[in-house]
Amino acid sequence: MEQRVRAGVLEDGTRQILLRAGVGERMRREGLVHNGVNLAVDGRLHHPDFPALTGGHTIIVYGQQEVVKDLIRARLAAGGDVRFEAEAVAIEGIEERPTIVYRRPDGSVERLACDFVAGCDGSHSLAREAVPPPARTVYQRAYPYAWLGILAEAPPASHELIYVHHPRGFALFSMRSPALSRNYLQVGATESLDAWPDDRIWAELALRLDGVATIRPGPVRERTLAVLHSLVVEPMQYGRLFLAGALVAYYRRGEEQGLQGYTAACLQHVWQAEHFSWWMTNLLHRLEDPFEDRLQRAHLRALLRSEAARRYLAENYVGLHTSGRYVERLPL
């Protein structure tokens, strides 16, 4: 988990939470603060200024695996018990007294009794499956394309992210450090990694960058291929199981109001985040339908000329809408 390089952009609210929790000092020292992103459209770069559009908020590039390292170190320093290589195989008794059943590396099975279970295990969630089907509703959207991604020992194309809208398809130029770049290409959903040797990937990245910045190839450390999809499960809480969330008020003050209203509050933020993801995806990826393609171009023109539209992008990107502070005010 610590070695695998995962997504790296943290919203401003996440940065503040880590700092308040006392686990953000290394992030403060090593993270890359970004004041915006670049949109490459028709061979030109456009740069929404996030602090100007959001009242001073920014994002920070700091890999999720680095956050994991910081959290583990803090937990161990506090005398906590972190169990590595423990595979959860079942969650029982979630309505009253939950128990996690897990398998150790030697094959032995142990049980862990809990006050609550927080299921933060992604789209293949064991926690999600513990909610009985009559009480569980799954909403999902599969997109007809995939992201081919590389992690390379090469300097990033820009000091801030570049999102490319191009006739050949979407591309994203990102980074994990000043010497480590993370780049993506839109490809077909049925593509194979075998069809994309490193030289072809670098050549296609250069084509889609279209001269707006300079790309310098380097050794590829990791190659991935992921079909794009979105998934939301409702409710976010069932009995003593929470699909994600915090329990601070309950343990500090014995308050249960936050627990009881968790699904309603959380889903408001989740669906706003899903909307922004859908909005950005349809804004930048190559669309096969000619009518949708023309709508997309009209949408891009509106974004580039409208400060209100750029503010919507900026506020969502830094996390103001999904933090709840702006969730009721949508300028589009």
CATH number at residue 175: 3.30.9.10
* DSSP tally for the chain: helices H, then strands E: 11, 16
The confidence band for 1, taking pLDDT boundaries of 50, 70 and 90, is very low
| Same domain for 152 and 214 | yes
Q: What is the pLDDT of residue 4?
A: 53
SS3 305: helix
pLDDT tens figures, 227-244: 998 989 899 899 998 877
The answer as to whether 218 is a domain residue is yes
Q: Which strand ranges, in their side-by-side order, compose the sheet holding 137-152?
A: 44-46, 38-41, 162-165, 171-177, 180-188, 137-152, 220-234
| Same domain for 130 and 193 | no
Q: Contact 25/286 with Cβ under 8 angstroms?
A: no
Q: Contact 187/228 with Cβ under 8 angstroms?
A: no
SS3 205: helix
**Residue 7 and residue 26: Cα distance in Å, rounded?**
17
The answer as to whether 90 is a domain residue is yes
φ and ψ at residue 48, rounded to 5 degrees: -60, 125
Instruction: Name residue, tokens 């084509």.
Output: 207
Q: Contact 102/112 with Cβ under 8 angstroms?
A: yes
Please state which of the ranges 176-190, 192-206, 231-245 shows the lowest mean pLDDT: 231-245
**Residue 50 and residue 37: Cα distance in Å, rounded?**
8
**Residue 135 and residue 165: Cα distance in Å, rounded?**
41
Please state which of the ranges 114-118, 190-194, 243-247 shows the lowest mean pLDDT: 243-247
The range of the structural domain enclosing residue 212 comes to 140-229
| Same domain for 195 and 128 | no
| Bridge-based pairing state of the strands 38-41 and 162-165 | parallel
Tokens of 187: 């490809």
φ and ψ at residue 262, rounded to 5 degrees: -65, -45
The confidence band for 323, taking pLDDT boundaries of 50, 70 and 90, is low
Q: Residue 327 belongs to what H/E stretch?
A: none
Task: Give the list of residues 6+ apart from residue 164 with CB closer than 8 angstroms, or none.
Answer: 40, 170, 171, 172, 173, 208, 209, 210, 212, 284
Domain count, the chain: 2
Tokens of 288: 């096969």
| Same domain for 92 and 215 | no
The answer as to whether 123 is a domain residue is yes
The answer as to whether 209 is a domain residue is yes
**Nearest Cα residue to 165 out of 275, 296, 295:** 296
Q: pTM of the full predicted structure?
A: 0.87
| Same domain for 216 and 107 | no
pLDDT reading at 309 higher than 80: yes
Q: Residue 68 belongs to what H/E stretch?
A: helix 64-77
Q: Contact 51/35 with Cβ under 8 angstroms?
A: yes
Q: Contact 312/276 with Cβ under 8 angstroms?
A: no
Q: What is the pLDDT of residue 2?
A: 45
